[in-house]
Amino acid sequence: MVMAPKITTGMPAGKKPRPRSDFSPTEFDQSITTKGYRMWWSRAGICPCQNNDQTDQPDPNCQLCKGEGRYFFLPDNVSDGGKDVYGNEVELNDAGNAVSIYVLMTAMAQDVQLFERFGEWVFGTAKVTTQAPNKLGYHDRFIARDAEMVYAQIVEFDGADVIPIVGSRKKTGLRYPYISIHELRSVSQVYKQDEHYTLTSSGTIAWIGSQAPDSGTRLAVHGTVRPVWIVLDHVNTYRDTQLAGGTPELSSQKAEALPVHAVAKLDFLLDAG
């Protein structure tokens, strides 16, 4: 006699799927668009400059990842002015490495007990939900399109006419494009906007005439920037639902993807910058 395996692969014998009410994934996507934030979304790739099999250390001089170990690229070969799966026009950022999407974001730290369980890890974290077609990956990046955040940093001035945007973990320039500057100063002098410098349309600081400080001067910069978030964990790596078909047979059901839920953190909190 052949013994039945100790597993189940479907309905109990003689049973049929019961009619059930499934919410519409498109209505879920509609809610995300209605209540979500506009974000520039980029996928993250592992940079091939990580050629040390023991430490996975990136090349600090790599031109692709700038020593970060990951690079960002445009999701799913979309094109500016094209159409998404719902027929909406696609919009790309100026760099051409991010597409505009809607993202629901909720704070993780509303429950005080979270700090007791996870400590400082929850600082600057948020739960994010994207529409079903937008499949998130680890280290994917979101840049807020409309929101502003206060940010302060130190710049080691090199004597150039413009303080450029150099990204994270470097003090030779600005981490982000600045929207506004509240204060720019050295230990001994405060530099005033439109008198000593201008804030360019690209978010860099350009010195006026000979108003720049001496090369090697350390400057404190305080102002507003667009928040940047990095995906750190998946609450749902995938999330599907079985939709009932037109017949009572189980085989008539089909899986449909639902919005993915993940955890993201403000990127400057991921390093010592």
Q: Write the pLDDT tens digit of every residue in 139-167.
A: 999 999 999 999 999 999 999 999 999 98
Written as one letter, the residue type at 4 is A
Buried b / exposed e along 56-87 (16+ C-beta atoms within 10 A): eebbeebeebbbbbbbbebbeeeeeeeebeee
- The residue whose two tokens read 């998404």 is 84
The position carrying tokens 């945007």 is 165
Of 102-116, 184-198, 253-267, which gets the smallest average pLDDT?
Answer: 102-116
Does this model's pTM top 0.85? My answer is no
pLDDT tens figures, 5-32: 567 556 566 666 554 455 667 777 888 8
* Dist CA 153 CA 95 (whole Å): 24
- pLDDT category at 133 given cuts 50, 70, 90 is confident
